[in-house]
Amino acid sequence: MSRFKFSVGPWNVASGVDVYGPPTRDEIPMKEKIKKFAEMGFDAIQFHDDDAVPDISSKSEEQIIAEAKELKALLDEYNLEAEFVAPRLWFEPQFKDGAYTAPIKENWEHAMWRTYRSIDIANILGAKFIVLWLAREGTLCMESKPPVETIQQLTKSLNLMLEYDENIKIAIEPKPNEPIDRSYAGTVGHAIALGNATIDPDRMGVLVESAHSTMVGLEATHDLAFAIAQNKLLSVHINDQNGIKYDQDKIFAAENLRSAFNQIKVLCDSDYDKEGKYVGLDVKAMRSTSFEHSYEHLANTIKVVKMLEDKVDKFDQAVVDEYVKDGNYEAIEMYILELLLTK
Ligand code: GLO
Ligand code: MG
């Protein structure tokens, strides 16, 4: 048994499409995914606004509320919680040069409209926070927007969200690159600083994704630790990534086992599980995986977390402390390698 509660996003079961090729697997309807997630033992689901209410931009506020209530009834049927709602502000053409940092006022207003609707949906589903993955908040063309004013526009957008609902919390999920190559707020440090610049820093936090740290050569464990030390860690997206490359969303520990061990260790050591928070998965099956194995990357990730928890339970800090006193850092390396490589 794991000490953690797990959450998953419906987009984690996907068709295998990438920028260089078409789908390799059939799409699975949302209701089927939710049923399967419940059977797999997940505790909560993560939603984009348009996962919860498809084609959200074409719908009235009344329709959005009605559909969110239907979804809530479905979740209740399976005894599932909603962890968060995240406005998906990167597909619509209006957001081609940013959403909260859009240079054209009407586009920014549309981003805010979708965010307010996301907060409404979160309230109906019982989710305590929204997640902002600032996917297009930067620019492909540096001169298209004056950076200082534009970053201030981002802070203003956050303030409006905090004013819209006095209880909602906001977790910023930073990503340094892809789809834009130059993000305005690409790291955990930026995300925390942005939160601190708002009118209500206590309701601002971060969601740390392993791959987003790795893809800029940062250590995900220390990004988690940094957020925990500032009391800002609202959620996590565990996954893995082969170095400083395109976003891969591989199963946890598939590329960086020692880092994965330390990520789980820092969560265990900080009693993350006791605060009612979820270990969120943001993993995708590889493009080469066949349809019949559409869910195995999720089951395997949970299995790996449990195995790493066992390793964390076996880890003895007193042994390491002795080696530190003796300056025997080689012994620490070997202690960890033996821990990870033997039963
Ligand atoms: C992509 C992100 C993405 C977000 C999701 C929730 O790189 O990790 O999957 O986590 O859209 O906002
Ligand atoms: Mg993510």
Provide the pairing of β-strand 44-48 with 169-173: unpaired
The pLDDT value recorded for residue 214 is 98
How far does residue 210's CA lie from ligand 2's centre (Å)?
9
- Report the 10 Å Cβ neighbour count for 279: 25
Q: Which residues pair with 131 in a beta bridge?
A: 171
Testing ligand 1's pocket by substitution, the residue of 11, 133, 298 carrying the most ligand atoms inside 8 A of its CB is 133
Q: Whose CA is nearest to atom 5 of ligand 1?
A: 133
Q: Measuring CA to CA, which residue among 137, 145, 160, 154 is closest to residue 103? A: 145
How far does residue 265's CA lie from ligand 1's centre (Å)?
23
Q: Is 25 helix (H, G, I), strand (E, B) or coil?
A: coil
Instruction: Find the ligand nearest to 84 CA.
Output: 1
Ligand 1 atom closest to the Cα of residue 133 is 12
* Cβ neighbours for 315, distance < 8 A, ≥ 6 positions apart: 265, 339
Bond before 103 cis per omega within 30 degrees: no
Distance between Cα 313 and ligand 2 center (Å) = 27
Distance CA 53, CA 49 (A): 6
Domains of the chain: residue spans and CATH: 5-311 (3.20.20.150)
Which has the closest alpha carbon to 45: 33, 63, 55, 57? 33
Q: Residue 80: what pLDDT?
A: 98
Q: Please tell me the residue having the least CA distance from ligand 1 atom 2.
A: 133
pLDDT at 227: 98
**From the CB of residue 223, how many other CB atoms can be counted at a distance below 10 Å?**
26
Give which of 35, 10, 149, 196 is closest to 86, Cα–Cα. 10
| pLDDT per residue of the chain (343 residues) written in tens, 0 to 9 | 899 999 999 999 999 999 999 999 999 999 999 999 999 999 999 999 999 999 999 999 999 999 999 999 999 999 999 999 999 999 999 999 999 999 999 999 999 999 999 999 999 999 999 999 999 999 999 999 999 999 999 999 999 999 999 999 999 999 999 999 999 999 999 999 999 999 999 999 999 999 999 999 999 999 999 999 999 999 999 999 999 999 999 999 999 999 999 999 999 999 999 888 999 999 999 999 999 999 999 999 999 999 999 999 999 999 999 999 999 999 999 999 999 999 9
Residue 243, SS3 per DSSP: coil
| Max intra-chain CA distance, the chain | 68
Q: Which residues touch 329 (CB under 8 Å, ≥6 apart)?
A: 323
Looking at all shown ligands, the one closest to residue 90's CA atom is 1
**Which residues fall within 8 angstroms of residue 307, CB to CB, at 6 or more apart?**
none
Give the model's pLDDT for residue 276: 87
> Residue 48 catalytic?
yes
Q: How far is the CA of 302 from the centre of ligand 1 (A)?
A: 19
If phi over 0 gives left and psi between -120 and 50 gives alpha, with beta otherwise, what is residue 303? alpha
Find the residues whose C-beta lies inside 6 A of ligand 1: 86, 131, 133, 173, 175, 209, 237, 247, 282
Q: What is the DSSP string of 133-161?
A: E-TTSB-SSGGGS-HHHHHHHHHHHHHHH
**Parallel, antiparallel or unpaired: strands 169-173 and 5-8:** unpaired
Residue with CA nearest ligand 1 atom 4: 133
Nearest-Å Rg of the Cα atoms of the chain is 20
Cα 204 vs. chain centroid, distance in angstroms? 15
Q: How far is the CA of 242 from the centre of ligand 2 (A)?
A: 16
Residue 51 annotated to the active site: yes
